[in-house]
Structure 1
Amino acid sequence: MRHLIPLLFLAACASTQDQPAAPSFPDTCGVDAYTYLVGQPATALERVLIMQEVRVIRPWTMVTMDYRAGRINFKISDQDMIADVSCG
């Protein structure tokens, strides 16, 4: 048992460089133009004109699992802040 403790510490210090990078998805909906909204209150969406399909996803909201490449998803946090913007 005494020999396992140093191994646990070594495992905790392992490099993260060996892990693969998160997959990057193509910007099929023009989401890069709206990433500045992340961290702002959800009411900031009222001041932005978006001329394409948009889905606002609030906590505990049920959403369909369909993927639409041209749709922008705005995920709202429990604190009513824009937490994420993505295509789909």
Structure 2
Amino acid sequence: MKKMILSLPLICFAFGCQAHTMTAKTPKVDETIDTTYPQNSCGADELKYLIGKPRTVLHTMKFRSEMRILEYDSIMDMMYSPTRLNIYINKKGFISQINCG
């Protein structure tokens, strides 16, 4: 009887030390939302001809989407907007790069 009483805590301890795994159930999704945009969603490809031109040509143009002009030493936020047009200006005042973002 004494052996049984002493072995009971050991048995309980052994069962208590077993690893318990809990699996989270993933909710079932009925439909998929497409969040991808076409590579040229802001129209940058149509404006590549502006690369190498002075920034002053931008003052005479109208743009179909949101845009920002980024000077060579300017600070820009890291908010990505696939429909926004980014126009980069180099130190000499010429357009050096055009892309979406």
Query: Is the TM value for this pair above 0.5?
Result: yes
Determine what percentage of the aligned residue pairs are the same residue.
Answer: 30
1:38 aligns with 2:51: yes
CA distance in 1, matches of 2:62, 2:39: 22
Amino acid in the other structure paired with 2:58: L
Q: CA deviation at 1:32?
A: 1.2
CA distance in 2, matches of 1:34, 1:48: 11
Q: Which residue of 2 aligns with 1:5?
A: none
CA distance in 1, matches of 2:83, 2:77: 15
Alignment of 1:20-59 (within 5 A): 26-59=39-72
Alignment of 1:11-26 (within 5 A): 26=39
CA distance in 1, matches of 2:62, 2:68: 14
TM-score by length of 1: 0.69
Looking at both structures, which has the greater relative contact order when contacts are Cα pairs under 8 Å and sequence separation is at least 6?
1
TM-score by length of 2: 0.60
Unaligned runs of 5+ in 2: 1-37
Amino acid in the other structure paired with 2:86: N
Question: Which deviations, in whole Å up to 9, do the C-alpha atoms of 1:17-40 show, x marking residues without a partner?
Answer: xxxxxxxx8112111111110000
Corresponding residue pairs, total: 64
Unaligned runs of 5+ in 1: 1-24
Amino acid in the other structure paired with 1:43: T
Residues 43 and 54 of structure 1: is their aligned pair in 2 closer, same or farther, counting only changes over 3 Å? Answer: same
Q: Which residue of 2 aligns with 1:73?
A: 86
